[in-house]
Amino acid sequence: MPDYAELETVLGHTFRERALLEQALRHASWCNEQPQAGSEAKLEDNERLEFLGDAVLDLVVGHHLMTRYPQLREGELSVTRAQVVSEAGLSEVAAQLGLGQWLMLGKGEEKSGGRTKPSILADAFEAILAAVYLDGGFNAAQDMVSRLLAQRIETVEFKGFYDFKTRLQETSQARLRATPTYRVVQEQGPDHDKRFVVAVTIGEEEWARAVGRSKKEAEQMAAAEAHFRLEGSDVGIRPKKK
């Protein structure tokens, strides 16, 4: 196993189980190219850690935003969080940390510039956050996010909260030559306190879902999340993971 002391210093966390950090750096393309000896189990890539890291990131950033900006309403908090945790933002932080040089990539990804691809860098950041969470608990994950995303949280954009449907339409038509569509997929709660779950679809792919007190609010929040996913995409088509 490589010496990850330098990376641990950058992350601000010393692992008790470095195997977690190593898994967080293993891209699926690398794992698929490794030979297997007999019944030896295939090395696991970082996709499951990325799934967990995404949830941890939403929780930690949501907590920070509620504390830092008590004046924001539920919908505004959701839109603000979407900006902070967007692929473009996370990949920028990952690049500043130099995560690309530590990644284990397959030959094809290596040749195509995988070490600088926003999607791969953002996924690796989330996987590493999950590794920190599993190794050191919630406080360790919270400390990492506080240090590494503090500037993004402090400088997040607060204008135009409820114009994201227009912004998404402009972006999707320019990049995908398609217009977003919205549909209510679920209604929650009693009539006097109902919540609407709205999904936004571009082409045949669902890009985001959001919950709001009204259909209009849910549509705007779903549009916001989809907008930031699409805006930060390095290939133009990167729908929300199912």
In the predicted model, is pLDDT for residue 38 greater than 80?
A: no
Position 234 scores a pLDDT of 46
Query: Is 8 an active-site residue?
Result: no
In the predicted model, is pLDDT for residue 193 greater than 90?
A: no
Sign of the CA dihedral with 32 first, then 36, 42, and 44 last: negative
In the predicted model, is pLDDT for residue 34 greater than 90?
A: no
Residues of the chain by 3-state class (helix, strand, coil), percent to 5: 60, 10, 30
Tokens 């290596």, residue?
A: 110
Distance from C-alpha of 126 to C-alpha of 198, rounded to nearest angstrom: 25
Q: Three-class SS string for 33-92?
A: CCCCCCCCCCCCCCHHHHHHHHHHHHHHHHHHHHHHCCCCCHHHHHHHHHHHCCHHHHHH
In the predicted model, is pLDDT for residue 129 greater than 90?
A: yes
Tell me which of 22, 50, 54, 109 is the catalytic residue: 54
Terminal C-alpha separation, the chain? 33
Q: pLDDT confidence of 242, banded at 50, 70, 90? A: very low
Residues 198, 207 contacting (CB under 8 angstroms):
no
Position 212 scores a pLDDT of 83
Q: Does 89 or 47 have the greater pLDDT score?
A: 47
Q: Which of 69-73, 110-114, 171-175, 188-192 has the lowest mean pLDDT?
A: 69-73
- What confidence tens digit (pLDDT) does each residue in 152-169 have? 887 776 554 557 888 888
Tell me which of 22, 126, 135, 225 is the catalytic residue: 126
| CATH fold of 164-231 | Double Stranded RNA Binding Domain (3.30.160)
- Helix axes of 47-68 and 74-84: crossing angle, nearest 10 degrees: 130
Q: How many CB atoms lie within 10 A of CB 131?
A: 27
- What confidence tens digit (pLDDT) does each residue in 194-204 have? 889 999 999 98
- H/E element, 28: helix 28-31
- H/E element, 205: strand 205-212
Q: What is the DSSP letter of 29?
A: H
What is the CATH architecture of 5-34+43-154?
Orthogonal Bundle (1.10)
**Across the chain, what does the average pLDDT equal?**
86
- What confidence tens digit (pLDDT) does each residue in 70-117 have? 877 777 787 788 888 888 889 999 999 999 999 999 999 999 999 999
Please report, for the chain, the start and end positions of each structural domain, with discontinuous segments joined by +: 5-34+43-154, 164-231
CA angle, corner 55, sides to 53 and 59, nearest 5?
A: 115
Helices (H) and strands (E) in the chain — how many of each?
12, 3
Query: Is 58 an active-site residue?
Result: no
Position 221 scores a pLDDT of 84
